[in-house]
Amino acid sequence: MPQERSILKMIWTNFRNSLRPRQIKGNLIGKDSFGNKYFEIPADPSIGKRRDARWFEPVIKDKHDQEMPAEWESWLRGRRKQPPTTEEVLRNQAIADMKKINAAELEKEYHPEGVTEKKPDTIKTFPQYKEYEIMPGDKQDRS
C-alpha cells in the first residue's frame, strides 16, 4: 500500500516542530590570543537550517572591529569547516613575525641609516614646452 501524503498531517508536523525549543545560546568553540571567544550553533536540517551560525564575542564589548587571527576569520566566514587549532595559529604567527624581521633586515641593507631618497619639490601635472601653444593661437611667453 503506497504511503499517502496528507496536507493536514504535514501542517500538524510543522506546527509541532515549531513549538520545540531551539538552541539560542551557541557552543563555545575556541578562544584566540587576543581574548575573543568564538561560538557556533550547528546546522539542523530537520528544522530547515542548512548553515551553521557562527559569531564571536570581542574582549571589549563596544568595539566589534578588533583584531583577530586570519584563521579564525576564515572560519567565521565559512571558508573553512574546522576551527583552527592553537598550534596552527601560533605557527602562522611565527611565520608572520619572521617575515617582519626579514623585511626590516632588507630595509637596513638597501636603505642604510642617513641615506634618504630625495623627492622632487614640486610635481607638475603636465610637462610644458616652449614650442607648444597653451590656448589655440596663444604661444607661451617664456623668457
Domain ranges in the chain are 23-110
User: In b/e form, how buried is each residue of 54-67, taking b as 16+ CB within 10 angstroms?
Assistant: bebebeeeeeeeee
Per-residue confidence band for 118, with pLDDT thresholds at 50, 70 and 90: low
Chain segment 52-86, per-residue pLDDT in tens: 888 888 888 777 677 888 899 999 998 999 999 98
Chain segment 78-107, per-residue pLDDT in tens: 899 999 998 999 999 999 999 999 999 998
Residues 95, 42: Cα–Cα separation, whole Å: 32
